[in-house]
Amino acid sequence: MKKVAILGSTGSIGTQSLEVIRNMDNIKITGLSCNQNIDLLEKQIYEFHPEIVCVTNKNKAAELQTRLRNNQNKTEVVTDTSGLISIARSGEQLLITAVVGMIGLLPTLLAIDTGIDIALANKETLVCAGKIMMDHAKDNGVRIIPVDSEHGAIFECLRSGNKNEVKRLILTASGGPFRDYSAEQLQDVTVEQALAHPNWNMGKKISIDSATLMNKGLEVIEASFLFEIAAEKINVTIHKESIIHSMVEFIDNSIITQMGLPDMKHPISYAINYPKRLPCSLVNSMDFSKTFSLNFSEPNYKLFPCLNLAYDALKSSGTAPLVLNSANEVAVELFLKKQIKFTDIPKLIHKVLDQHIIINSPSLDDILEIDNWARKIAYNKGVK
Ligand code: MG
């Protein structure tokens, strides 16, 4: 039995991971975590029988523990970052990091310390501490298997070539719900419109990031760290059908792509079973008896400035991607609370980046400190 823990088991990737695991008989779930959705977590406990779960909201953690005791269930409920670390380390063979935001960083790093492979759906950890994460993984002989559809695709494509034969990576982007909008139309978009992604069913934070194209920007940074490739060799193309999940062009101009219907259960299943490839009945096969077309176009960098902000942060390197991410997390939160406009998101991030003096090789303490600083500045500037 492969012992697997999931950080963020009630979110979009977490629930889809459990859906994949439900159909497998060689996986033992050791630990699960959520922020506060204890109703769903309780159901997951009765079905998957983890030894320990973490609820980061303290009151909800106490409430769940009482409910479980009343039902004679012996699962231990822990809380806080220390609780997340206990969950991360319970995995033994694999940790699926499916939480959103910086909160995944410390538990994931500490799981790597104990030699646990990581299925990484939390792109923020690589964006904020990419060098530390990758160095750590190398030192401990740990594999980081991407669960993001684009990176999962590139990971698969790279199996057909040598790393020094790679000319460039091409990340595909659906373009989000506003890909055909004008500058005027973008001024007035609502939270509800931004949350309605045309192709993928995802959580709130990533849906907004997809609408601003910051999601693609974060993915460019993630790809750069994960595959150790410079920003100049990573391109983005808008591909509205989301059938080709990304591509690798090799030095002979041959391009290898990975394609399939847009369904996160494919990269999840691939990451859980890696290096094996097993049947996945949850994902439908593509139907080539019907005519369909695949379109590609340049992103509109002017209307969606977040993409260039991310490229610039990656090129500046050091703590610039971290500050980009922290400011973006705050900007998205303020937009969701209707305190700033959609078009204010890149402006706010730009302002915070402008005030930041980059540290080239930050320690983990530097990263945590600068993350706090950037959030504070972003809040102050955002609520004005
Ligand atoms: Mg993605």
Q: How far, in Å, from the CA of 148 to the mean position of ligand 1?
A: 5
Distance, CA of 104 to CA of 325 (rounded, Å): 13
Burial of 171-198, coded b for 16+ CB within 10 Å and e otherwise, reads: bbbbbbbbbebeeeebeebebeebbebe
Distance, CA of 108 to CA of 95 (rounded, Å): 8
Length of the chain: 384
- Model pTM greater than 0.85? yes
- pLDDT reading at 328 higher than 70: yes
Q: How far, in Å, from the CA of 150 to the mean position of ligand 1?
A: 5
- pLDDT reading at 292 higher than 70: yes
* Beta-carbon contacts of residue 70 (< 8 Å; ≥ 6 apart): none
- Across the range 273-299, mean pLDDT stands at 94
pLDDT confidence of 44, banded at 50, 70, 90? very high
Distance, CA of 150 to CA of 171 (rounded, Å): 6
- Type of residue found at 179: R
Q: Using one digit for the tens of pLDDT, what is the confidence trace for 146-175? A: 999 999 999 999 987 788 999 999 999 999
Chain centroid offset of residue 34 CA? 16
pLDDT confidence of 201, banded at 50, 70, 90? low
Q: How far, in Å, from the CA of 317 to the mean position of ligand 1?
A: 21
Compute CA distances 358 → 34, 311, 366, whole Å: 33, 15, 11
Distance, CA of 31 to CA of 91 (rounded, Å): 7
Q: Using one digit for the tens of pLDDT, what is the confidence trace for 66-82? A: 999 999 999 999 999 99
Q: How far, in Å, from the CA of 263 to the mean position of ligand 1?
A: 11
Percent of the chain with pLDDT over 90: 91
Q: How far, in Å, from the CA of 149 to the mean position of ligand 1?
A: 5
Q: Using one digit for the tens of pLDDT, what is the confidence trace for 84-142? A: 999 999 988 999 999 988 889 999 999 999 999 999 999 889 999 999 999 999 999 99
Q: Are strands 166-173 and 244-250 parallel, antiparallel or unpaired?
A: antiparallel
- pLDDT reading at 200 higher than 80: no
Q: How far, in Å, from the CA of 116 to the mean position of ligand 1?
A: 23
Q: How far, in Å, from the CA of 74 to the mean position of ligand 1?
A: 37
Q: How far, in Å, from the CA of 264 to the mean position of ligand 1?
A: 9
Q: How far, in Å, from the CA of 64 to the mean position of ligand 1?
A: 33
Burial of 291-308, coded b for 16+ CB within 10 Å and e otherwise, reads: eeeeeeeebbeebbbbbe
